[in-house]
Amino acid sequence: MKMLLTITPILVFSCGAALAAEADIPEAESWSLHGQFTLVEQYHPSFSSPYRGANSLDPGARGNETTDATLYAGVRLWPGMEFYANPEIDQGFGLSNTLGVAGFPSAEAYKVGESEPYIRLDRAFFRQTFNLGGETQPLEAAANQLGGSRTADNIVITAGKFSVTDIFDANTYAHDPRKDFLNWTVVDSGAFDYAADAWGYSYGAAAEWTQSWWTLRAGVFDLSRKPNDKALVRGFGQYELVVEAEERHQLMGRDGKVKLLVFQNHANMGSYGDAVRAAALTGGVPDTGDVRRYATRAGFALNAEQQMGDDWGLFLRASANDGSKEAYEFTDVNKSLSVGASLTGTSWGRDKDTAGLAGVVNMLNADARDYLAAGGLGILVGDGRLSYSSERILEAYYSAALWTGINLTLDYQFVANPAYNRDRGPANVLGLRFHAEI
């Protein structure tokens, strides 16, 4: 009897704990619909500019806006298999038609601008999850994520049309220009020349293997037909290979992550040196489009984040690539270093608000400098001549939660040496962002 009285509370407690754990696991959704709308308005006053080129930031006072509305539709085909589609309506232009700064001030601005709204399918992909054991973890319902659960150890395979940065180079504090920082080289590693069409998406497949404290990721993706093109090469005739290793840890009882990513692009691309030498023979302006041949271009990115308190954390990204060949997809950066902090408004009674501060330094290798100095044009930069200095950017933002799912953000960026040119600038960029989620 005494033993029974001893065991009974233990059994009751164990059953209660198990039921509580099950209660924390959301019911598996069979389908879902989510939506978002984002408007970004940016403006810069006039700045010093003794000259300008075809790809320069306009030195006059200038303002531009972009808007996008996205539908996130998902369906569970069978246990473990999901399909998602994201049609989107876009409209607007980035500052100077998204030209003139390698670390461009708005990642909501595509390289394709239109004055009238247009619709396109950004994503259409399958996701298969294989549970390998371990603790059952909840998956909260969100855009492109059906509510449900999976085990701590798992393999996830994604295939179809999506963004490389949906899976690779993610960071809790700096990765979503609709919610946190806006600058291209703050939300992504500047020298990570990831496969993408002019809107930032590609066809490909990725596998993620998660065990305990680590995750390995690998993927292959189509590259554009030519650098910065609207159209992709189908069938991996030109492609990118990318691998990322992630470790998770605790420092002073706080969660942190460190990721190391390497990539290699295989495509027809031009050498800066070849373009400069060819132009010297003809007396013309160097153009990498004249000297393209099938080649490879590789690089790496280090990405770290560390929670420092209940309401704030730090992040760092460092990246570099082969600077002898032209940038293919992302932007004209050979080396980049960014650091920053993110803080929620808990301490002043606004726990849904977020503030952020970041600094980034972007650099070019010697071959790229010589090419731009001779009048060559890159993806985003090209002033016709060059008095080189590293591009240095400071960004600060405050995102205020107006209502549930609706945020208004004030953003400021200081851009020294835009497009690596100390003869021009600095530019002060003011931004206003409205974001709503359904």
Measured CA to CA, the distance from residue 22 to residue 10 in angstroms comes to 18
Residues 6+ apart with CB under 8 A from 157: 127, 128, 130, 205, 206, 207, 208
Burial class (CB in 10 A: 0-12, 13-18, 19+), 71: middle
Its domain, for residue 314, covers 27-437
Q: Which of 116, 64, 63, 123 is nearest to 90 (CA)?
A: 116
Q: Is the pLDDT of residue 145 over 60?
A: yes
Phi, psi of 167 (to 5 degrees): -115, -40
171-213 pLDDT, tens digit each: 999 999 999 999 999 999 999 999 999 999 999 999 999 999 9
Q: Is 10 a domain residue?
A: no
17-40 pLDDT, tens digit each: 444 445 578 788 999 999 999 999
pLDDT of residue 34: 98
Q: Is 427 a domain residue?
A: yes
Residue 375 has what DSSP assignment?
T
Which domain CATH number covers 305? 2.40.160.10
Q: Is 422 a domain residue?
A: yes
Q: Is 13 a domain residue?
A: no
Phi, psi of 297 (to 5 degrees): -145, 125
> CA quadruple 72, 196, 168, 400: dihedral positive or negative?
negative
Q: Is the pLDDT of residue 11 over 70?
A: no
Q: Is 317 a domain residue?
A: yes
Q: Is 197 a domain residue?
A: yes
Domain count, the chain: 1
376-398 pLDDT, tens digit each: 999 999 999 999 999 999 999 99
Average pLDDT of the chain to the nearest whole number: 94
> Which residue reads 């595509």 in tokens?
110
E strands in 167-292? 202-211, 214-222, 239-251, 254-269
Q: Is 21 a domain residue?
A: no
Q: Is the pLDDT of residue 16 over 60?
A: no
Whether the predicted model's global pTM rises above the 0.85 cut:
yes
394-422 pLDDT, tens digit each: 999 999 999 999 999 999 999 999 999 99
236-266 pLDDT, tens digit each: 999 999 999 999 999 999 999 999 999 999 9
pLDDT of residue 13: 45
Q: What is the mean pLDDT of residues 316-335?
A: 97
Q: Is 5 a domain residue?
A: no
